[in-house]
Amino acid sequence: MKKVVTFGEIMMRLSPPGFLRFSQTNQFDVVYGGGESNVAVSLANYGVPVDFVSRLPNNDLGDCALMELRKRGVGTDHIIRGGNRLGIYFLETGAVSRGSKVVYDRAHSAMAEIGPGMIDWEEVFKDTGWFHFTGITPAISQGAADACLEAVKVASELGVLISTDLNYRAKLWKYGVPPEPIMTELTSYCDIILGNEEDAEKHFGIKPEGVDVTMQGEHVKGEAFQSVCKQMMEKFPKAQKIIVTLRGSHSASHNSWGGVMYDGEKFYISPEYQITHIVDRVGGGDSFMGGLIYGLLSYPEDTQNALNFAVAASCLKHTIIGDANLVNLEEVEKLMKGDASGRVAR
């Protein structure tokens, strides 16, 4: 199997213990994560060769992020060092009717100050079959957006399959350029496009009719997103598959979870899971993408099974503290077969 390459920023995540609010805590728990690095960790867990490409400061905190990737089996040979700081984000975990909160502290991070010409993409893409980025990376800075565009152009020229998770982040698009033209150009190179219920609307103005995903207890019907998938494929003709994750938010602690996929001919709908006691929902979309890449690589003739794997894998992520999905193939396949009992394995 050729390797997968992901490109983005890994950050230090600081969270009050348990469900404490920022104003209550006098300490923070530390983990490391970020959209594309989370995808890389998932793939490494499933035995897929994967490299993560980024820029890290040449200091102790950069070393800590690097060690976290290496201990999870992610290749780091193409991470460049430079800049003065590691990006940080603060997470306050919500419960019941109180939603979680994220505060970013990533301005002037090493990754925010990356630019085109810093990474030798032709070298990076040797023996690479798949390249993945998210809409978070071009939202960080103009330099990051330019480096991302450089990457997709080289990957396209080399025949590497390209995927994106649209991942709209309103708090990040702050450098004076609207996201639509940047994301439209980047997404035009993509073969696989993933988004949640709102990403296509926020980036491109494409939305389903009659669906309000913010309604408490809303059951998000997969069929409602068939028109979104078709419009996306019309806008991006290179795309082979359009995928939408479906999250119904009954509360911060109870979500329904599923997904749909459109391949230009057939519309696939996954089983729906009820996640009634969420431990940590951050990274849920990344775990879906990691599962999807694995599924499409492992079941190239069984699109339904690939989608089902992605949904089951990301369902399990909601039970794990931290950004990354630390589950293995056996655990995902067990849930896919219907065993959600949670019984002790001994």
Read off the tokens for 238.
Answer: 């290179």
- pTM (two decimals): 0.95
d(CA 287, CA 325): 6
DSSP element (H, E) containing 269:
strand 267-269
Average pLDDT on 66-75 reads 98
The label of the residue with tokens 């690097």 reads 66
Strands 101-105 and 88-92, how do they pair?
antiparallel
Q: What is the mean pLDDT of residues 136-149?
A: 97
Q: Residue 223's pLDDT is what? A: 85
> What's the pLDDT score for residue 22?
97
Q: Is the pLDDT of residue 159 over 70?
A: yes
- Distance between the two ends of the chain, CA-based, in angstroms? 33
Query: What HEC string does 159-174 produce?
Result: CCEEEEECCCCCCCCC
Predicted pLDDT at 208 = 83
The average pLDDT across 292-298 equals 97
Q: What is the mean pLDDT of the chain?
A: 94
> What pLDDT, on the 0 to 100 scale, is given for residue 212?
62
DSSP 225: G
HEC string of 97-137?
Answer: CECCEEEEECCCCCCCCCCCCCCCHHHHCCCEEEEEEECHH
How high is the pLDDT of residue 216? 42
**Exposed, middle or buried: residue 198 (CB in 10 Å: 0-12, 13-18, 19+)?**
middle
Would the pLDDT of 268 be above 60? yes
Confidence of residue 188 (pLDDT cuts 50, 70, 90): very high
Let me know: does 69 contact 40? Beta carbons within 8 Å.
Answer: yes
The residues pairing with 51 across neighbouring beta strands, listed in sequence order, are 5, 75
Strand, helix or coil for residue 79: coil
pLDDT value at position 300? 93
Residue 197 has pLDDT above 90, yes or no: no
pLDDT for the residue 286:
97
Sheet arrangement for strand 88-92? 29-33, 11-15, 88-92, 101-105
Report whether pLDDT(297) > 80. Answer: yes
On the question of pLDDT at 346 being above 80, the answer is no
pLDDT at 4: 98
Average pLDDT over residues 32-58: 98
Q: Rounded to an integer, what distance in angstroms lies between the CA atom of residue 49 and that of residue 29?
A: 30
- Token pair of 119 as six digits: 């990474």
Domain boundaries, the chain: 3-336
Which of 76-80, 92-96, 174-178, 342-346 comes out lowest in average pLDDT? 342-346
Residue 218 confidence (pLDDT)? 59
Please provide the CATH number assigned to the domain covering 3-336: 3.40.1190.20
Q: What is the predicted pLDDT for the residue at 214? A: 54
pLDDT at residue 213 tops 90: no
Instruction: Look up residue 83 and give its DSSP letter.
Output: S
pLDDT at residue 215 tops 60 = no
50-53 and 3-7 as β-strands: parallel, antiparallel, unpaired?
Answer: parallel
User: How much is the pLDDT for 211?
Assistant: 65
The secondary structure element, H or E, covering residue 32 is strand 29-33
- Structure confidence at residue 210 as a pLDDT band (50, 70, 90): low
Report whether 187 contacts 134 (CB < 8 A): no
